[in-house]
């Protein structure tokens, strides 16, 4: 009977460790320093709307500058050599 109790206790303890690894609060095997506490320790940088707008504009300008350096490419047609060239249809004659 004691052996079953010890085994059941060990199983419960192992399941608690696996379940606490999935939670955001830390808990059983985290050592007391949960993810939430670690995020609170980091002080966010003071960020004003003007700074964000400036950075956003700078990122957009950099993106446009890099895209302008990419050369234009002709369209890739893998079946171009196999497909016959289209012929122009014969002009229709008007009936009078």
Q: What's the distance, CA 70 to chain centroid?
A: 25
With beta carbons less than 8 A apart as the criterion, state whether 35 and 23 touch: no
Helix-, strand-, coil-residue percentages of the chain, each rounded to 5: 50, 0, 50
In this structure, the number of other CB atoms found within 10 A of the CB of residue 20 comes to 15
What residue ranges in the chain does DSSP mark as E strands? Answer: none
pLDDT, one tens digit for every residue, the chain (96 residues): 899 999 999 898 888 876 666 666 555 555 555 556 666 566 555 668 888 899 999 999 999 999 999 888 888 878 877 877 777 776 777 766
- Distance from C-alpha of 19 to C-alpha of 40, rounded to nearest angstrom: 23
Domain segments of the chain as ranges:
2-65
- Is the pTM above the cut of 0.85? no
């Amino acid at each position: 009977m004691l052996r079953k109790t010890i085994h059941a206790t060990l199983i419960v303890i192992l399941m608690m460790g696996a379940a606490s690894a999935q939670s955001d609060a830390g808990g059983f095997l985290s050592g007391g320093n949960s993810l939430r506490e670690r995020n609170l320790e980091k002080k966010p940088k003071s960020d004003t709307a003007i700074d964000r707008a400036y950075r956003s504009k700078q990122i957009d300008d950099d993106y446009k500058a890099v895209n302008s350096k990419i050369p234009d490419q002709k369209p890739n047609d893998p079946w171009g050599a196999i497909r016959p060239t289209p012929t122009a249809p014969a002009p229709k004659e008007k009936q009078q």
